[in-house]
Structure 1
């Protein structure tokens, strides 16, 4: 599956120049723009900064015909197609999606690296969408990554600072951060472990248990640093508030009994701790010698079972069972008298419900042209939550 790209160009002042002829790139994922930038350079000799998605010919990723807005400092030689495009400001537009936004962020990152005696000799745009913009900055002392995120992910820097002290090497090294959502990360060798098998997932779970044990005694500091507090009743209130504008009929009974269900989870005896929030293997990077958990923007303080449920979510029950049993055994050894298995069963329908609320939060915080990234995710997660509640067969 590939993408067909129409790139609408603006100049440094934000004035529309027209659209390049459509071209194809093999990478199907809409937020990945490195190939888009490379192809515009290869075909037309243009240095383009991709700002944002303007339109898609399908309701959700991947693939399809996508129209992006890109900024150039020098108008192209190739004739451009006249296009009618809405360029008025939007209150929910990300700062990196505005003309001049990428340049401002790169100037900040370059200055921070210069301060660290790491001169920059090359820059490559890697990703841009409503949840993050990512660039790679290369130099004689290695590569660094500039990541810029919206306000609801701004606590990622606080998590990385805590990890650097409490669990060194388990997260990316934070080189710099500001209060606008920009973070500068040292390069992590290896590759994202999307294809991790059962053995590697078991090792990821064991590593993460150590982190969560250390965090269990430090939740007050994490919350004080800005990490979202989704413990017990706070989680129920957070979910209901974010799903208020969506059709919740499929999970009405689950929502009605949510406070009681979370009370029963608390009675299982496990401590609240740091939760990654999206602990699938693609958010683990490894090179055969070490594993580093990346992308902590979804992190919160809450129940540790959410992470093992996410890590085993795509496995069939027979493959997931040993990982869940090992997770439960570790917690039972640390908290005698606790009931980790029951906590998992109680939280099975809550996990996709929490994810639905997270996607609803994304939709509420991004401009309408970028809604296709997530519009289908809320109903899909609500359907999963309803199915899990029915399968578990527990009241509420």
Structure 2
């Protein structure tokens, strides 16, 4: 599946210039813009920074016709087509999606790397969408990554700082951050493990267990740095604030406090939770696993992570991962009931995911909502069946 890309161009002031003729890009994923930038350069000799999605056809944000807004330093030599698209300001627009935004962020990142003795020779835009903008920065000192996130993910830097101090090597190394969503991360070799087999998921779960155990005495510190507090007492209100309104949601919320009281009775401690621990957020290299993308992290029940790790697997495949996870916690906290906690939290995990996607939808501009348009209903339906 490929994309048919239209790039509407603006100059550094945001003044519209027109659109490049549509072109094909083999990679289907809308948020991956590196191939868009490369193909625009190859076909039309234009250097463009993709700012944001304007329109896209299709509910899955993959393939088909997609239109982006891109910034150029000067009009290209290629004749441009007329483009009539809304370019009005939006209070929910990310700073990196504004004209001049990428340049300001790259200036900060290259300055920080220069201060660290790692001058930058080349920069490559990798991704931009409502959840992040990512650039690769290469130089004689190696590769680093600029990651910029919206306000609801800005605690990621604090989490990475804690991880680097207490369990080094388990997450990307934070080289610098500006306190306003920009982070500079050291390179993590390897590949993201989407579709990892069960044996590898077992290894991921085993490697992640010490991180959560180590976080137990530090949960108050993590909350104080801005990490969301979704411990049992706070979780129902957080979910309600994002999902209240429909009869379906009210029915699911009605028994939630009592259910969470039962979960507390199972005796497991509350920990740092990654929040999106699927294999695609784990990079593997030479038998080592590094967990990436901590923007969804919070303080809460550790079972949320193992349930995400086995999400979508048939019961027979999920069973050994859950069994080993439970065994580790029984050894860690004698007398606890991890199996019961997992079963009680299955519908809560789906309900929490619905609330997360509702938070995304409430915090992003209209054109970007297509990325998450079906996610809330998908997880609400899942919660009803568990």
Normalising by the smaller structure, the TM-score range is over 0.9
Paired position in structure 2 for 1:107: 107
1:127 aligned counterpart, secondary structure = strand
State how 1:194-209 maps to structure 2 within 5 Å: 194-209=194-209
Mapped to 2, the partners of 1:287 and 1:213 lie a distance apart of: 24
Paired position in structure 2 for 1:154: 154
Mapped to 2, the partners of 1:3 and 1:66 lie a distance apart of: 7
Mapped to 2, the partners of 1:285 and 1:159 lie a distance apart of: 18
Task: Tell me if structure 2 keeps the 8 A contact 1:251–1:386.
Answer: no
Paired position in structure 1 for 2:297: 299
2:234 aligned counterpart, secondary structure = helix
Paired position in structure 1 for 2:243: 243
Paired position in structure 2 for 1:171: 171
The Cα of 1:251 is off from its aligned counterpart by 4.2
- Unaligned ranges ≥5, structure 2: none
Mapped to 2, the partners of 1:269 and 1:30 lie a distance apart of: 43
Q: What are the Cα deviations for residues 274-309 of structure 1, in whole angstroms up to 9, with x where unaligned? A: 000000010001112311100000000000000000
The Cα of 1:61 is off from its aligned counterpart by 1.6
The Cα of 1:2 is off from its aligned counterpart by 1.0
TM-score (normalizing by structure 1): 0.96
Task: Tell me if structure 1 keeps the 8 A contact 2:244–2:250.
Answer: no
Mapped to 2, the partners of 1:59 and 1:209 lie a distance apart of: 36
TM-score (normalizing by structure 2): 0.99
Mapped to 2, the partners of 1:254 and 1:233 lie a distance apart of: 16
Mapped to 2, the partners of 1:371 and 1:215 lie a distance apart of: 34
1:368 partnered with 2:366: yes
The Cα of 1:58 is off from its aligned counterpart by 2.1
Task: Tell me if structure 2 keeps the 8 A contact 1:250–1:383.
Answer: no
The Cα of 1:54 is off from its aligned counterpart by 0.4
Mapped to 2, the partners of 1:325 and 1:290 lie a distance apart of: 22
Q: What are the Cα deviations for residues 223-282 of structure 1, in whole angstroms up to 9, with x where unaligned? A: 11111000012111000100125xx33343221101111111001000000000000010
Q: How many residues align?
A: 386
1:184 partnered with 2:184: yes
2:175 aligned counterpart, secondary structure = strand
The Cα of 1:59 is off from its aligned counterpart by 3.0
Mapped to 2, the partners of 1:176 and 1:52 lie a distance apart of: 25
Paired position in structure 2 for 1:391: none
Q: What are the Cα deviations for residues 166-212 of structure 1, in whole angstroms up to 9, with x where unaligned? A: 11100000000011100000000111111311111001101111100
- Unaligned ranges ≥5, structure 1: 389-396
2:30 aligned counterpart, secondary structure = coil
Q: What is the Cα-based RMSD across aligned positions, in Å?
A: 0.9
